Amino acid sequence: MRPRACFLLAAPLMGLLGCDEDRDDADASRVADASHDVGEPRDGAPSEDGGEGREGPPGNDVNLHPHEVGDETAGRAVFRMETFGNEAFWTDAVRLPQGIVAAGVTPIQALQTGFNVNIDALDAATQSAIAAELMTDLSPAMAPMLNSPATTLALINANAIIGVVAIDTNGDGTIDVAAGDRAGVACAFCHAITDGSVFSIPNGGSIGREIDGPTPHTLNVGATFALAANTRALYPIAQLALTASGGATIGRAPTGLTETSTEAEIDAYFANPAFYPIGTFDDQPDGNGAPMHITPMFRSDLSAPYGSEGAISRLDNFSNLVYTVLFDLRTLTTPSGRAFLQLLGGAAGDEIANDYATILAATGVDPQPALEIATMGMPGMEATPAGVRVDDTRLLDLSAYMDGLEAPPGIDGDAAAIARGRAIFRAQCTSCHNVDQSRFVPSMLIPMNVIFPGDAPVQLATRMPPLNPVLNTVDSIFDDKMVIVNASLRGDIRGIALPLLLDLARKPVFLHDDSVPTLDALLDGARGADAPHPFYLDGGTARADTIALLRSFDTD
């Protein structure tokens, strides 16, 4: 049994993240509807396939969380190359480029870690050389360039590794991270792949033309972090054992880390896929150690609110949180960042900030973030969770680009099986999901005890309304993300936001915590009535037919 406790032990949080006590009545009624009929057959007119049911939940044609957008063309550059200055964090604090160089990472090893290489970023001579070596057995003798750490450095300098952005910060007109230039991180690192037209490595990354939006399911974010020369600078998004929590911990690892943990100990946490699964990222600096599966970022116009817990209502606010907190964690040691953590966790939040400041000092890191801050705001509000915000124009351009990214096409399977699956889906699944995937994803949240009947949370702390108490279900990974961060941050319930049902044929694991290995297992009643998402199909070909439908879904 894993020891369980919580990073939050106290905190009056009125107004945190822009809480709205006057939530839309339609939203509230749809939550109530979901709370009693999710997954149950529904009466309705016969469908075009001869089945009965409905097209989706009531009000499923309304986006309750619309967001502003900007220039889609400009947004492409933001998505692929914008750092807002975070290269100072990743190079000077985390020292990721230095760690990659010191470890002697080769292109083959980078691909095995799940990195993707945009072939269009390379000159013709390099493209030809790579193509020639890929014709061999890829051994060091036959493919010396692809087995050379110098080639990895050249790929970084050419901005060919998707989402890793090298910048001429020393002003000499060239880019060379080994000579003092810095490298940061852009959205594309976690939300883009390639078409694999040049090369794909089994269970790893690929070389080809960049495709923005899909999740790189084989990206090993934890192992990437462990390569850094100063992984301790990522302390707030590790799994911690805090004095304010009695030394207990939440997460997949049996023990948590502390401010005295060594570089090797923190590397071991991030590098262990049992603790930090491949294809996941921990997007909350709460010490819980709850990395969740990376979501796709195509057709974001169809999906809101954001985050598996639905805590963010607007896409630009989601992007701002990523850039101003997660992509430069030093923001958390500023007065406004400390206020944010104090609001979230009281003594535990203060402890994280203090521990982190100690670690930065001990590892020779300048504690001041170097982000390009455009505006200041109230700490804890959705638009400025850590009290700061980057440029609105670029954030809105980014939203426009992600809105316009098309989802990959579905798999054209057996037409008869897909038709039967559609009839089953109409009858069994439309209390939550739409049949037509080009419509808005229903904006309601599914209450935790509906999507997870086995949820039996222990209350660890009370919080001021409209926030929920701090609740944790012992020995559950599924609810770890919701222990601290849930939609009560904006005045809604503790529950799950509905996902896009697109690009499922590529998805290797299911549910946000990666707890279910296949679609077949997801729909198999052997998981039990108290498991997360316990809506099953076990008779005849029903499960196979529904899987055929799910794999076929796209927006056409």
What residue spans of 239-362 are helical by DSSP H? 263-271, 315-321, 335-345, 347-362
pLDDT at position 301 is 93
Report the run of H or E that residue 376 belongs to, with start and end.
strand 375-376
Per-residue pLDDT band for 29 (boundaries 50, 70, 90) equals very low
pLDDT of residue 428 exceeding 80, the answer is yes
pLDDT of residue 39 exceeding 90, the answer is no
Distance CA 173, CA 157 (A): 12
Domain tally, the chain: 1
Do β-strands 458-461 and 445-447 pair in parallel, antiparallel, or remain unpaired?
unpaired
pLDDT at position 10 is 36
pLDDT at position 16 is 38
pLDDT at position 52 is 52
In-domain check, residue 286: no
- Give the residue-averaged pLDDT of 417-430: 96
- Give the residue-averaged pLDDT of 343-354: 89
In-domain check, residue 121: yes
pLDDT above 90 covers a percentage of the chain that reads 81
- Give the residue-averaged pLDDT of 213-241: 98
In-domain check, residue 300: no
The half-sphere exposure of 464 on its side-chain side, counting CA atoms within 13 A, is: 12
pLDDT at position 261 is 98
- Give the residue-averaged pLDDT of 431-440: 94
pLDDT of residue 73 exceeding 70, the answer is yes
In-domain check, residue 289: no
pLDDT at position 69 is 87
In-domain check, residue 336: no
Per-residue pLDDT band for 50 (boundaries 50, 70, 90) equals very low
Residue 77, C-beta contacts closer than 8 angstroms, at least 6 positions apart:
none
pTM, 2 dp: 0.90
* Tokens found for residue 379: 């700490």
| Backbone phi and psi for residue 430, each to the nearest 5 degrees, phi listed first | -90, 10
Per-residue pLDDT band for 53 (boundaries 50, 70, 90) equals low
- Write the pLDDT tens digit of every residue in 506-536: 999 999 999 999 999 999 999 999 999 999 9
In-domain check, residue 502: no
pLDDT at position 539 is 76
* Tokens found for residue 554: 């796209």
- Write the pLDDT tens digit of every residue in 74-87: 999 999 999 999 99
Q: At what angle do helices 347-362 and 335-345 cross, to 10 degrees?
A: 140
Distance CA 422, CA 547 (A): 10
Distance CA 18, CA 382 (A): 5
Do β-strands 192-194 and 210-212 pair in parallel, antiparallel, or remain unpaired?
antiparallel
pLDDT of residue 463 exceeding 80, the answer is no
Contact between 198 and 155 under an 8 Å Cβ cutoff? The reply is no
Compute the mean pLDDT over every residue in the chain, rounded to the nearest whole number. Answer: 89
In-domain check, residue 37: no
pLDDT at position 22 is 37
In-domain check, residue 239: no
Per-residue pLDDT band for 26 (boundaries 50, 70, 90) equals very low
Strands (E) across 104-254 are located at 117-118, 164-167, 182-185, 192-194, 199-200, 206-208, 210-212
pLDDT of residue 17 exceeding 90, the answer is no
pLDDT at position 200 is 96
Print the domain residue range for 165.
95-212
Residue 523, C-beta contacts closer than 8 angstroms, at least 6 positions apart:
535, 536, 537, 543, 546, 547
